[in-house]
Amino acid sequence: MEGASITVFVIVQKIYYPLLCVMGIPANLFTLYMICFRKCGMSNTAIVYLSCLAIVDTFYLLWVILIDLTLTFWMRQPFWHSHPWCGILGFLQYGALYSSSWIVVVFTIERYLVLRSTATKQHFSQPWVTKLTCIAIVLVSHVVSVPMAWINVVTPVDFTVNGENVTLPRCRYREKTYSTVLVWIATFLSIVIPIVLVIIFNSLISYHLCRASNLFTKEERRVMHGKSTRGMLRRTILLLGTVSVTFVVLSLPRFVTYSILRTQYNNESFNRNDYSIPINVAGDLANMLQNLNSTTNFLLYCMVSRCFRRELVRVVTCNSKARELGSVLTHTTMKVFSVVNHKTSSNPGIVVLINLKQME
């Protein structure tokens, strides 16, 4: 019975990872087309961040899901079990992972700074600033990933194939102290710190929106939104909470299982491929969740826009009618108004609003 369960789990992974590639890569590329070439009501900075996120997530799917995991389950001897591909693949994988995580973090921080200050918005709303930021994130991520090329080493391993003993080169984890230290650092940089920052700044955004809603009277909110501000506020906070919770739930198990594997089972005699050991099953399930996060986080950020969904329907139904940008912005869920000018009346408890500036 136990052997059958192990076989089923292996089969599930053999189907799961190719399915992620088949669904994730086209989804990222299609959404990239949507936000770049269709009017989805997104700001220029959001378009740059989300486009960059789609690109690095696509490369993550290629390096990790397709070339590494899919080939591992479907081929006896993938090409990267040789020098120098063993080290190069590790460098590319961590570079894409860092890039994806920190683009999400920086985009979240940028959204908070834009809500906090009009002057900050004027600086960060320039597309060239956002493009340089994304380029810097990707470059720094890959520079930091250079040491990861040496955490694995190609070693000969004996196998039994059709009753015959054969020796094949395998790309294996290098059992050295510096390898373990590097992977611990990578785990914190790609999982722990991004999780903490995303939760903190999404919480600050929600708090800021709650306070901002109290600046306007009921009549002013009706003019600005044409609908209940409280309802819009609840949806915005719900969306931000969904993004944070999804990011945590799909990423945190990887950190927990890795911590257990590298503390309780960190020895050469431990067989990581033995699925009769519960921690190996838990570790692979955590990997599956983390890889799912890298496949879907781009859509999570894009699908918060009602205009994106409407434009998606138009594309699917071959309706090429373009939507007016003003109408698009009117119904954007993440729309926020900033007070450009205001004056204080004789009553210190009353603020008179002179000019409202629409912010996305």
pLDDT tens-digit profile of 77-89? 888 888 899 999 9
pLDDT at 302: 66
pLDDT at 237: 56
Residue among 14, 24, 21, 18 nearest 53 (CA): 24
Taking only the tens place, the pLDDT of each residue in 166-181 is 888 888 888 788 888 8
Alpha-carbon distance values, 11 to 4, 61, 334 (Å):
11, 20, 42
pLDDT at 17: 92
Bridge partners, residue 135, by sequence: none
The C-alpha atoms of residue 165 and residue 180 are separated, in whole angstroms, by 31
State the pLDDT confidence band at 248, using cuts at 50, 70 and 90.
confident
pLDDT of 339 strictly over 50 = no
The C-alpha atoms of residue 58 and residue 181 are separated, in whole angstroms, by 28
Query: By mean pLDDT, which of 67-81, 178-192, 322-336 is the weakest?
Result: 322-336
Tokens 């973090």 identify what position? 105
Taking only the tens place, the pLDDT of each residue in 320-331 is 554 443 333 333
pTM exceeding the 0.85 threshold for the entire prediction? no
Mean pLDDT of the 235-240 span:
57
The hierarchical CATH code for the domain 1-322 is 1.20.1070.10
Mean pLDDT of the 249-272 span:
81
pLDDT of 94 strictly over 90 = yes
Give residue 198's identity as a one-letter amino acid code: V
Bridge partners, residue 336, by sequence: 359
pLDDT at 271: 79
Give residue 149's identity as a one-letter amino acid code: A
Task: Name the range with the highest mean pLDDT among 189-203, 261-275, 285-299, 341-355.
Answer: 189-203
Provide the strand spans (E) within 127-163. Answer: 152-161
pLDDT at 349: 45
pLDDT at 63: 93
State the pLDDT confidence band at 67, using cuts at 50, 70 and 90.
very high
Percent of the chain residues topping a pLDDT of 90 = 21
